[in-house]
Structure 1
Amino acid sequence: MVRRIAVCLVSLLLTTPVWAQEQQSPPESGGGSGMATDMSKMGPWTRKPTNEAKTRKEIEAFFKEEEALMKRRDFEGGLARMDFPVVMATDDSKGVPMAETYDRQRYTEMMRPMFEQMPADMQMTHKPTITVLSDSLATFTDDFTITTGGKKYSGRNGGLLVKRDGQWKWKTMYEAGWGDMPASGVGGSGTAGESEPPKK
């Protein structure tokens, strides 16, 4: 979907100058549809990472801090690392995808009970793969394992991180398989901001 939007935008920008030249009178200022667009001043080619290695290290540190917060059961500390509103997405056993947006209050109401009920013996390991899009946008996937009650579970989740006011924060979190969970249920791997499935 994002790819389709990007292609449409680029196509529009590339064709707009030609269309504008065919007009009898110059287009009005203010960003109207008839304005020729300078492609050199917008688009992903203008926002390439200035130091990708440095940004990657910042995000790796962000993940380590997240693990420390989880071990301390610091829910409020975790909240401070969310760029509200956040988007959470999952799917159900039939493969039907779903996603919802959560503000701070709604996220807290849903996530705090899960956080407080987390098993004391739960251990997690993470293997994130980070893709840096710019100095302020990065995506990731995380291959994780959870060990609790003598059983081990493994899975993969992902999301979008944004850098706002100099701090990396969670913006979008997605993890498959939680769509059949009752609204009052508890779930999620804990990687993507202690993710739990969106309600239907």
Structure 2
Amino acid sequence: MALLPDTGYTPSPDELASVDAWFAAYDAHSAKREIERMADLAVFPLNLVSDNSEGDGASAQWDREQFVATMTQVMGGDDGDLTFDSVRTPVFLSSAMVVVFTDSTMTTAGGETQQLRYADVLIKRGGAWAFQTMIQGGWGDNLR
């Protein structure tokens, strides 16, 4: 993970490792299209921020049911596992809040790749990280 200059809250090595471990678990579930397990790592209602095909900003809140339905549709069927090669930059706002910027290459089992850039807001609850906000361009037409 890349780190920003020392400003504001400085995370410990253990805090950095805990965010890294959270993403490793989330990516593993994503790779296998385990949508329910992905949802287990979220706080609902989940905030989504995006843009739509008209170029306007869009936002919504999804409950678990909407998240599972949309992610099942977007991630497709059982066409084999996905792989992710990601570089993440965490910006800790406190010991319990982190915004994580991600540049990722997703590769399908068939070898097709897609470049992704997104950000997630994670909060710590009961000592465990959960994502509360997803920010990514191109999802706006799916937000309702």
- Report the TM-score, using the length of structure 2 for normalisation: 0.80
Q: Higher helix proportion, which one?
A: 1
Q: 1:4 matched to which residue of 2?
A: none
1:74 maps onto 2:34 in alignment: yes
- Quick check: 1:138–1:160 contact (8 Å CA) kept in 2? yes
Q: Is the Cα contact below 8 Å between 1:56 and 1:132 reproduced in 2?
A: no
Q: Is the 1:158–1:173 contact (alpha carbons within 8 Å) kept by the matching residues of 2?
A: yes
In structure 2, the CA distance between the partners of 1:160 and 1:112, relative to structure 1 (3 Å rule), is same
Match of 2:77 among 103, 117, 125: 117
Runs of 4+ aligned residues of structure 1 deviating over 4 Å after TM superposition are none
Residues 172-183 of structure 1 mapped to structure 2, 5 A cutoff: 172-180=133-141
User: Residue 121 of structure 1: CA displacement?
Assistant: 5.2
Shift of 1:115: 4.3
Find the residue that maps to 2:80 and give its secondary structure: coil
Asked if structure 2 preserves the Cα contact closer than 8 Å seen for 1:69 and 1:78, the reply is yes
Q: How many angstroms apart in 2 are the aligned matches of 1:175 and 1:71?
A: 19
Aligned CA distance change for structure 1 residues 93 and 87 (closer, same or farther; 3 Å): same
TM-score, with structure 1 as normaliser:
0.60
Residue 42 (structure 2) pairs with residue 97 (structure 1): no
**Correspondence 1:59 to 2:4:** no
Q: What is the letter of the counterpart of residue 115 of structure 2?
A: S
RMSD: 2.2
For 2:143, give the aligned amino acid.
P
- 1:55 match: secondary structure: helix
1:184 alignment counterpart: none
Q: Secondary structure of the equivalent of 1:67?
A: helix
Q: 5+ residue gaps in structure 2? A: 1-7
Cα drift, residue 116 of structure 1: 5.2
Q: Quick check: 2:36–2:68 contact (8 Å CA) kept in 1? A: no
Mapped partners of 2:15, 2:90: distance in 1: 10
Cα contact 1:55–1:132 (8 A) shared by 2 = no
| Contact residue 32 and residue 80 of structure 2 kept, 8 A | no
Which structure is larger by alpha-carbon Rg, 1 or 2?
Answer: 1
- CA offset at residue 68 of structure 1? 1.9
What is the aligned partner in structure 2 of residue 131 from structure 1? Answer: 91
Query: Is the 8 Å Cα contact of residues 99 and 119 (structure 2) preserved in structure 1?
Result: yes
Report matched runs for 1:14-93 at 5 Å: 48=9, 51-93=11-53
Cα separation, partners in 2 of 1:104 and 1:138, compared to 1, 3 Å:
same
Q: How has the CA–CA distance of structure 1 residues 93 and 75 changed in structure 2, closer, same or farther, with 3 Å as cutoff?
A: closer
TM-superposed deviation, 1:109: 2.8
Aligned length: 136
Percent of residue pairs bearing the same amino acid type = 26
Letter in 2 for 1:164: R
The residue matched to 1:139 in structure 2 has which SS?
strand
Bigger relative CO (Cα 8 Å, ≥ 6 apart) = 2
Q: Is the 8 A contact 2:31 2:84 kept in 1?
A: no
**Bigger proportion of residues as strand:** 2
User: What secondary structure is seen at the aligned counterpart in 1 of 2:140?
Assistant: coil
